[in-house]
Amino acid sequence: MTSLLHVDSSASLAGDSVTRRLTASFADAWCRRHGTSGYRYRDLTADPVPLVSHAYTTLGRRVERHGVVPLARVTAMTGGPAEEREWALTLPLIRELLAADTVLVGVPMYNFTVPAALKAWIDRVTFPGAYVDPVTEAGRLRDTTVVVVAARGGAYGPGTPREGLDFQTPYLRTYFRELGVAEENLHVVQAEMTRAGDVPALARFRELGDRSLADAYAAVRVLAGGGEGDRAFPQDLGSRL
């Protein structure tokens, strides 16, 4: 069965969040094509992933010393109630990620990088050896498609005053590649100048922001299988992240 894990990390509600509306557009097109039985949603703001603790890192180091350990064996390697609790919080998230054929991640830029809610999820699911097959040593995410939907209030491309200050999308590209996602299966959709509609200093860039957001809506619908000609999107241009 085809499956989609949809992850949102914006602190804003849907009415104020570009990334939430963009990922919802992707999910809607995907569910129309594949049905809803394989769809799984995780809101990292409404249901935060706890920060990793000393017990998590201790368990991770112990497991890593044994090479690639099957997930089913990790419980037996825990050293007490604190580590057991950490593993109980971690294993369902890892299994959820491994079960998805497509992973959709909505990521607003906060202070030049990703939200803390997403970083907490990343730190917890990135457990040593979890994404390597213990028998073949092949990457378990090599056939997984990852779609990162990013938004930022300004512009960070070549020639802009903030060129080189984007620690959002380069970080996520590096992270998912290191996790084992194949380059050809990693897609990043970006909407820039999303604050041009409500920040006076950015008002002159409103047209640029509108065009960027329209292109982002078109891109997510195509990636979701909605078709290249399906450019329908809500009239929310220039909204907040």
Instruction: Give the annotated binding-site residues.
Output: 10, 109-112
- Give DSSP secondary structure letters for the chain: ---EEEEE--SS-GGG-HHHHHHHHHHHHHHHHH-STTEEEEETTTSPPPPP-HHHHHHHHHHHTTSS--HHHHGGG--SHHHHHHHHHHHHHHHHHHH-SEEEEEEE-BTTB--HHHHHHHHHH--TTTTB-TTT--BTTTT-EEEEEEE-SS--STTSTTTT---SHHHHHHHHHHHT--GGGEEEEEE--TTTTT-GGGGGGHHHHHHHHHHHHHHHHHHTTS-TT-----S-TT---
Q: Which residues are annotated as a binding site for FMN?
A: 10, 109-112
